[in-house]
């Protein structure tokens, strides 16, 4: 069926960023402040995921969609923060599953290694990579690290689909 539209997704406890890529075309959606509670944030994440899916279908009709989302990891904020992030991620994944979109979970060091060239790349190194590789995405991101990460996750998905990720 050919190359799919790829959605790269960076979800956290209270925000989610989507970058849709197909060929040289893309769209960026950066949603902040999904809600205060886990349930409120999950509901908003579901709604935003549906919006991203609709946008991809309208923008590139007739093409399949594949999604790649960063796996929640224990990091700054500890286990509680990771659990709440997993709720939001699960809401996004469940929504995509219901839409029959295959979802791949991507470890942060994996996408950084395959896309940026360094599994321990810093936030500034990721932002610099995006600025050099996709100046338009960098400009539209307006400094959002979530969008930079989502763009790299989308590109990891493209590489993965091609057997290179």
Residue ranges of domains in the chain: 5-161
Q: How far apart are CA 4 and CA 119, in angstroms?
A: 25
Whether the Cβ atoms of residue 130 and residue 153 lie closer than 8 Å to each other: no
Q: How far apart are CA 129 and CA 126, in angstroms?
A: 5
Query: What are the CA-CA distances from residue 108 to residues 2, 28, 32, 115 (Å)?
Result: 27, 20, 20, 11
Which residue did the predictor score with more confidence, 12 or 1? 12
- pLDDT tens-digit map of 140-165: 999 899 999 999 999 999 999 887 65
- pLDDT tens-digit map of 78-109: 788 788 888 999 999 999 999 999 999 999 99
pLDDT score recorded for residue 61: 95
Domain 5-161 has CATH 3.30.420.10: yes
Q: What is the mean pLDDT of the chain?
A: 92
pTM of the model: 0.94
The SS3 call for residue 99 is coil
Whether the Cβ atoms of residue 3 and residue 65 lie closer than 8 Å to each other: no
* Count of CB atoms situated within 10 Å of the CB of 104: 16
């Amino acid at each position: 069926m050919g190359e799919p539209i790829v959605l790269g997704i960076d979800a956290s406890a209270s925000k989610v960023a989507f970058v849709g890529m197909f060929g040289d075309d893309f769209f960026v959606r950066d949603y902040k402040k999904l809600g205060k509670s886990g349930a409120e944030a999950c509901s908003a994440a579901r709604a935003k995921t549906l919006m991203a899916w609709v946008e991809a279908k309208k923008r590139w009709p007739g093409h399949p969609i594949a999604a790649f989302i960063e796996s929640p990891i224990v990091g700054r904020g500890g286990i509680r923060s990771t659990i709440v992030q997993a709720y939001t991620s699960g809401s996004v994944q469940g929504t995509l599953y219901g839409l029959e979109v295959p979802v791949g979970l991507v470890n942060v060091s994996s996408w950084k290694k395959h896309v940026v060239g360094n599994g321990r790349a810093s936030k500034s190194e990721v932002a610099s990579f995006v600025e050099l590789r996709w100046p338009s995405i960098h400009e539209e991101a307006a400094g959002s690290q979530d969008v930079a990460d989502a763009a790299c996750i989308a590109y990891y998905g493209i590489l993965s689909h091609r057997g290179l990720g």
